[in-house]
Copies of this chain bind each other. A is one copy, B any other.
Amino acid sequence: MTGPAPRNPDWRRHIEEVFASNAMMRHLEISLDEMSPGAVSVRAPITANVTQHHGYAHAGLAFTMGDNAQGMAAYSLIEPGQGIVTIEMKINLLAPAVGEALVARGFVERAGRRVIVTRAEVVALKDGTEKTVALMLGSMAVV
């Protein structure tokens, strides 16, 4: 199966530059993981900085990672000179985010000229296994 074709030959560098200019990613220790056209994943350790009152990773970490992964997936399919901003995003939390790290995988579901529909799954990595902790569904504007 082949995915959608990027319209910017430098899409990888564009994503790396946008990601690198995002201070929130550094502050939450989120890094780029894997990229292909229409699908980007990001990863972050679950540290003592990002837990909530039950000791799990805060939903805000899962949201931030999933929003970013979806945005980067959208960046992989736009033209040079265009940018992406989130219109809206929904997250459903499926299980406590417990483990060593979270990985958020963002996917483009439909790349319109003005609106790109995306989804993400966020998984927790613990002792070599992974568990889905959140599902997301959102819209990005092409600007």
Contacts and interface: CB of A to CB of B under 8 A. Distances in A.
Interface stretch (A19-27, A32-40, A122-130): A19-27
Contacts of A67: 59-60, 63
Contact of A63 (B64, B87, B141): B64
A85 to B, nearest CB: 7
What secondary structure prevails in chain A residues at the interface with B? mixed
A2 interface: no
B27 A50 contact: yes
Interface in A51-83: 51-54, 58-61, 63-64, 67-68, 83
A13 interface: no
Contacts of A7: none
Nearest to A109: B135
A89 B66 CA distance: 13
Contact of A94 (B89, B117, B136): B117
